[in-house]
């Protein structure tokens, strides 16, 4: 077979229009997942059982099942309860929940890794819970959260490709549409892989650098 470069050149603009949706989906998921994840992570550390148990439940379900299954459940299963979402919102919701569950564990891990003396010191200075969190704990915990969070974000960007399976338009779906027209699977999928690589590699490079610095710094 001959490797057809022309088919790549002709269809690159269409692939790039898919990249826009991939990046939009990834950004949406990262923002929603981080906010929800911080709330869930702090809830998991709560002394109140009524807050801690439901939070743990959500975290376990979202972390211990395949993200594809969650997407199917939201896209195909929720209409049974009268909740009908289109493909893109379904993918965004499923991925945000998945991101939140994983972010929650990162938040919890980072906070628990801080010496308890930090809490005690803040409390003995007369700070309340919110002040302790905002001024003492979170700024320190944040430094430890960044490398694993970067790793999570890389995973999320790669996982946006799953949205194509339920039919949401993004990079992978755009590629599938081109292949249905041209039958040049190898070329198109290799280009798609290269585009994901270009997006993900800087993030994972930074993750590794951050992890090394953390080992040195603490």
Partner 1 sequence: MAYQLDPYIIIRYLPLFLKGVFLTVEISFLAILIGLPIGILAAVARTSRLKILNLAGAIYVEVFRNTPLLIQIFIIFFGLPGLGVKLSPYISGLTALVLYVGAYNTEVIRAGLEAVPRGQIEAAKSLGLTGVQTFLHVILPQTFRISLPALGNNWVALVKNSSLVSVIGMVELTWVTFDLNALTFRSFELFGAATIFYLLLIFILINILAFVEKRFAYKT
Residues that bind partner 1 (CB under 8 A): 1, 60-61, 64-70, 72-73, 76-82, 154, 158-162, 164-165, 172, 179, 184-186, 189-190, 192-193, 196-197, 200-201, 204
Q: Measured from the CB atom, is 75 or 136 closer to partner 1? A: 75
Report in angstroms the alpha-carbon separations of 16 from 83, 87, 171, 182: 32, 20, 7, 17
Cα-atom radius of gyration of the chain, to the nearest Å? Answer: 21
What DSSP designation does 45 have?
T
Instruction: Find the shortest distance in angstroms from Cβ 36 to partner 1.
Output: 19
Q: Measured from the CB atom, is 12 or 200 closer to partner 1? A: 200
Task: Give CA–CA dist 204/152, Å, rounded.
Answer: 10
Angle, CA of 41, 148 and 105, to the nearest 5°: 20
Instruction: Find the shortest distance in angstroms from Cβ 132 to partner 1.
Output: 30
Instruction: Find the shortest distance in angstroms from Cβ 29 to partner 1.
Output: 14
Which residue matches tokens 């057809």? 4
Q: Measured from the CB atom, is 149 or 192 closer to partner 1? A: 192
Q: Measured from the CB atom, is 139 or 202 closer to partner 1? A: 202
Instruction: Find the shortest distance in angstroms from Cβ 153 to partner 1.
Output: 12
Task: Give CA–CA dist 209/214, Å, rounded.
Answer: 9
Q: Measured from the CB atom, is 14 or 129 closer to partner 1? A: 14
Task: Give CA–CA dist 179/139, Å, rounded.
Answer: 48
Instruction: Find the shortest distance in angstroms from Cβ 17 to partner 1.
Output: 18
């Amino acid at each position: 077979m001959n490797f057809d470069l022309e088919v790549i050149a002709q269809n690159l603009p269409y692939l790039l229009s898919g990249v826009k949706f991939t990046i939009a989906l990834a950004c949406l998921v990262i923002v929603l997942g981080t906010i929800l994840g911080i709330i869930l992570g702090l809830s998991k550390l709560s002394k109140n059982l009524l807050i801690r148990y439901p939070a743990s439940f959500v975290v376990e379900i979202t972390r211990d099942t395949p993200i594809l299954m969650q997407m199917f459940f939201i896209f195909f299963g929720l209409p049974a309860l009268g909740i009908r979402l289109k493909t893109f919102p379904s993918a965004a919701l499923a991925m945000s929940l998945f991101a939140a569950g994983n972010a929650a564990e990162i938040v919890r891990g980072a906070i628990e890794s801080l010496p308890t003396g930090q809490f005690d010191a803040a409390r003995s200075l007369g700070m309340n819970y919110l002040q302790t969190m905002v001024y003492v704990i979170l700024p320190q915990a944040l430094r430890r959260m960044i490398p694993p969070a970067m790793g999570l974000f890389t995973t999320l960007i790669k996982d946006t490709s799953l949205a194509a399976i339920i039919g949401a338009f993004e990079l992978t779906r755009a590629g599938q549409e081109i292949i249905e027209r041209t039958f040049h699977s190898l070329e198109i999928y290799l280009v798609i892989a290269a585009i994901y690589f270009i997006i993900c590699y800087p993030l994972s490079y930074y993750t590794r650098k951050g992890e090394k610095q953390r080992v040195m710094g603490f």
